[in-house]
């Protein structure tokens, strides 16, 4: 199993505070002979609709030497997980969880805006100190 991101517990606690039930830590995926592990699986009961919303969350801290290298690696991982989830759990939405600092410093820059505008990634933005979700960007 892969090592947990430095923000793993912060993001997990933020989801719990937001009413999510953590169902998998990590969420195991298998495609062919390859095993993959998305950081978290979670569910939330939508009382008004009497339905469940399921998500998978990949947490990234972007602490490497190159923010662009971290972005490229995170997006590659996100695409693989997204495509496998579409086959094995099509009702589960995938999110990339990033700190508020990364969201404003990278995803409000032209490259991040382009990725969001082209629906390449869904973001879950969290405040690591408050362990709270700041916003969802579908």
Query: Using CA atoms, how far apart are residues 43 and 15, in angstroms rounded to an integer?
Result: 10
Question: How far from 70 is each of 24, 73, 120, 127, CA to CA, in Å?
Answer: 25, 5, 16, 19
Give the predicted TM-score (pTM) of the model: 0.94
Contact yes or no for 42/54 (Cβ under 8 A): yes
Query: Using CA atoms, how far apart are residues 43 and 52, in angstroms rounded to an integer?
Result: 6
Burial readout 82-111 (b: 16 or more C-beta within 10 A, e: otherwise): bebbeeeeeebbbbbbbbbebbeebbeeee
What is the CATH code of the structural domain delimited by 8-61+69-99+107-137?
A: 3.40.1350.10
Task: For the sheet with 123-127, list strands across it.
Answer: 21-24, 40-46, 51-59, 92-99, 123-127, 132-137
Tell me: cis bond preceding 21? Omega within 30 of 0 counts: no
| Per-residue pLDDT tens digits of the chain, which is 138 residues long | 678 899 999 999 999 999 999 999 999 999 999 999 999 999 998 766 567 899 999 999 999 999 999 999 999 999 999 999 999 999 999 999 999 999 999 999 999 999 999 999 999 999 999 999 999 999
């Amino acid at each position: 199993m892969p090592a947990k991101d430095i923000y793993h517990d912060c993001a997990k606690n933020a989801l719990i505070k937001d009413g999510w039930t953590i169902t998998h830590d990590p969420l195991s995926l298998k495609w062919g002979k390859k095993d993959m592990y998305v950081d978290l699986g979670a569910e939330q009961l939508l009382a008004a609709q009497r339905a469940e919303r399921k998500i998978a969350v990949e947490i990234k801290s972007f602490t490497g030497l190159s923010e662009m290298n971290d972005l490229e690696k995170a997006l590659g991982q996100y695409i693989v997980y997204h495509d496998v989830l579409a086959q094995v759990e099509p009702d589960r939405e995938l999110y990339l969880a990033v700190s508020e600092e990364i969201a404003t410093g990278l995803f409000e820059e032209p490259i991040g805006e382009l990725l969001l505008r082209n629906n390449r990634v869904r973001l879950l933005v969290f405040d690591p100190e408050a362990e709270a979700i700041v916003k969802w960007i579908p």
